[in-house]
Structure 1
């Protein structure tokens, strides 16, 4: 097995992930609204969602996924609903810095589940793994070792894209401490979440 065989996949993955979409908007909004740690768990949920689609594609379940498209529609709606809930929470957040700081205690599981549902309902992710992946990876020649490499590349590639967005948004939050700035920051986060939710629902 030649590791260079995975270069086309790595390049395609990073390019697709770096293109701003609902996942990026959601993780930025999460970082702006709650800080670095909850947003990191949210991003981990996004990564787990990608790994789910990667596994489905490798197992040759694209046709099965299409047959159960109704399930993914439900997941899409739930993911969008979660983002709307976050948007409303951020919009209504108090302008007291202590209150906003306290919201960093968002649970890891809830944040991760939110990110996971967003990815499962993200049309861009579905298209990449179900349609584009077979063009850059020979799925018929798949082995457990090759799958392991794909998983590793996916994790590294996605975190390499997500972490700069996440860190920049969290850093921006740290610099904005006065009540007026925090109010604008929360409403900016709300806008990012609402935009991501609208994209997920409206994109076919």
Structure 2
């Protein structure tokens, strides 16, 4: 359920899927999933204690991630609507950018690790987690849930892609995504103050 709540990651995923198509959307989703798996691993193996011990380092990371979200927000806001060519293939550079954006959006969202720290003790005893349980149960389950939810968002974006051929519809979508990114960035900074 929590994965299905649209946040900065899913908003950016929809925007990328609309502008770049299914391949771009799924490449970005792979970056989002990798970021979640990194935070899952941190939560499972207790490295969150390090995050609380070395708060200044994590505050700097948080601020850097916030700046990146602001950059994404600015790019979304300034996006020049273009005719959507459904047959156009994404370039390697666009795919790499989509993947990196997915990864950094997730890693820049402290709510992700907070979610895992809150939910994992309810699901499994973290005192008894082994590499086998992590690798055979937690990682595949997290991957499948995020893939299923992300695929729904991508497929929905592809369905509305035809309707977003007008410049005004694209402008509204990208500016909405930009506003959500900016709000997420401000929220991250506010938590460090």
TM-score (ref. length: structure 2): 0.80
What runs of 5+ residues in structure 1 fail to find an aligned partner? 1-14
Cα distance in structure 2, aligned partners of 1:202 and 1:102: 40
Alpha-carbon contact 1:75-1:117 (below 8 Å) kept: no
C-alpha displacement of 1:142? 1.8
C-alpha displacement of 1:153? 0.2
Alpha-carbon contact 1:35-1:170 (below 8 Å) kept: yes
What runs of 5+ residues in structure 2 fail to find an aligned partner? none
1:63 corresponds, among 21, 31, 49, to 49
**Alignment of 1:169 onto 2:151:** no
CA pair 202-31 structure 1, distance change in 2 beyond 3 A? farther
Alpha-carbon contact 1:76-1:200 (below 8 Å) kept: yes
Output aligned runs, 1:72-87, within 5 Å.
Answer: 72-87=58-73
C-alpha displacement of 1:63? 0.9
**What whole-Å deviation, never above 9, does each CA across 1:35-87 have from its counterpart, x for those lacking one?**
43323222211111111111122222221122233333333333332332233
Alpha-carbon contact 1:26-1:196 (below 8 Å) kept: no
In structure 1, the partner of 2:30 is 44
Q: How many correspondences in the alignment?
A: 190
- Deviating beyond 6 angstroms after TM superposition, the runs of 4 or more aligned structure 1 residues are none
In structure 2, the partner of 1:134 is 121
C-alpha displacement of 1:187? 2.8
C-alpha displacement of 1:155? 0.1
C-alpha displacement of 1:28? 2.5
**Alignment of 1:20 onto 2:9:** no
Alpha-carbon contact 1:173-1:185 (below 8 Å) kept: no
